[in-house]
């Protein structure tokens, strides 16, 4: 009786692993088949602001998005896929359910 529960838990783990591997394979194929255009970074020149001569000259601070962008033309696609997060959440729920149902 106890070995049946362990066997079911092992089978569920293997099925979830197969789904995850299948997802990775399909996601890579879809990503390779799509041709995405890179996001162009537009470099903006800061405009000078008149400063009163009685005040000391302030140290210029970079505006958000205006760092050292020399030679950077596109940004990499580094987002985490939401369907994969769903697969991880589902596997955690199923594992928790089996651990509660079969504690030993």
Q: Where are the domains of the chain?
A: 1-35+79-104
Half-sphere exposure of 53 (CA within 13 A, CB side): 0
35-79 pLDDT tens trace:
555 666 677 777 777 655 565 656 655 565 555 555 656 766 777
pTM summary value: 0.34
Residue 9 near residue 102 (C-beta atoms within 8 A): yes
Residue 38 near residue 73 (C-beta atoms within 8 A): yes
């Amino acid at each position: 009786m106890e070995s049946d529960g362990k066997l079911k838990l092992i089978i569920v783990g293997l099925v979830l692993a197969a789904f995850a591997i299948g997802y990775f394979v399909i996601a890579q194929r879809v990503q390779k088949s799509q041709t995405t255009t890179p996001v162009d970074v537009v470099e903006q020149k800061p405009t000078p602001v008149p400063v009163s001569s009685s005040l000391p000259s302030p140290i210029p601070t970079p505006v958000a998005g205006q760092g050292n962008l020399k030679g950077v033309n596109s940004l990499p696609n580094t987002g985490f896929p939401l369907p994969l997060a769903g697969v991880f959440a589902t596997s955690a729920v199923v594992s928790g359910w089996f651990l509660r149902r079969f504690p030993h």
